[in-house]
Amino acid sequence: MRMSSLSKKIITGVLVGSVVLSLGVTALAADNNEASTLRERVKFRKEFKRPKDELMIVLDRLIEEGTITEEQSNSIKQYIEQKIEEKRHSIPPALKKDLLGELVEEGVLTEDIVDVIRNEHRELRHEKVQESLNNLVEEEVISENDVENIIDFMEQKAEERMEELDKIKNMTEVQRREYFMKKRGERKNIMSQMIEEDIITEEQAEEIRKVLPRPEHHKRPMGHFRKNRKKGPRF
């Protein structure tokens, strides 16, 4: 099956989405003069979809491009819904798995098609993150140079994450669990890392957290602050 114009897209697209999943969120508070800005930020955040919903958007795009068939898209959607349901009723909770990789193993998709899906998904999230940072430039919270430095840092961490995933992909479920248990204490929030590297200030980090997306499993009722947040599995 031909890749059409997608093969010319940003194949070097980064896992900004994956990095974003590690970000914490602070409670929003502002006086009346900040209300308009906050409304814009809330509106922007609502545009971010859950990873599953984003994937559905990507699949629809790929059908239009002729990269995958509608039958393949339906198979992917059905498989993901099934796995999400299984995970929801799993006791203890199941470890995060590479669902697209499983579709390759089962012969539903080829590696080439999965690579295109992943790259398109990364590009979609990259666009959203870039847009949110550009909004902060307009508000004079950060500069254009800051945006470049932030994106570069996120790309670096995303590449490191990919290398780590390659390292563990052949491990058993027990081995992966043990590996991440050992690494748990070593992991730092990416915002804290950028503050330590003098890429952004603490004040800028707080504003960035307010506009960047977070997955559904990280959302908590009002009143829960970041210090109480527990990390969930990556979709």
Could you tell me the mean pLDDT of each successive run of 10 residues in the chain, 235 residues long?
Answer: 38 37 37 45 44 78 88 87 74 59 81 85 84 93 94 88 82 86 81 94 93 54 37 39
180 located within any domain: yes
Q: What residues make up the domain containing 23? A: 4-228
Distance CA 37, CA 90 (A): 41
201 located within any domain: yes
* pLDDT value, residue 159: 86
Distance CA 82, CA 87 (A): 9
Distance CA 161, CA 103 (A): 22
Number of domains in the chain: 1
234 located within any domain: no
End-to-end Cα, the chain, rounded Å: 27
* pLDDT value, residue 153: 92
Distance CA 36, CA 23 (A): 24
**Rg of the chain (C-alpha set):** 19
Distance CA 2, CA 51 (A): 26
233 located within any domain: no
189 located within any domain: yes
197 located within any domain: yes
- pTM for the full predicted model: 0.52
Our CA angle for 234, 168, 94, nearest 5°, is 45
CA 180 to centroid of chain Cα atoms: 19
CA dihedral (150, 164, 45, 11) positive or negative: positive
Distance CA 77, CA 155 (A): 28
Distance CA 150, CA 209 (A): 13
Asked if 20 contacts 213 with a C-beta cutoff of 8 angstroms, the reply is: yes
* pLDDT value, residue 198: 95
54 located within any domain: yes
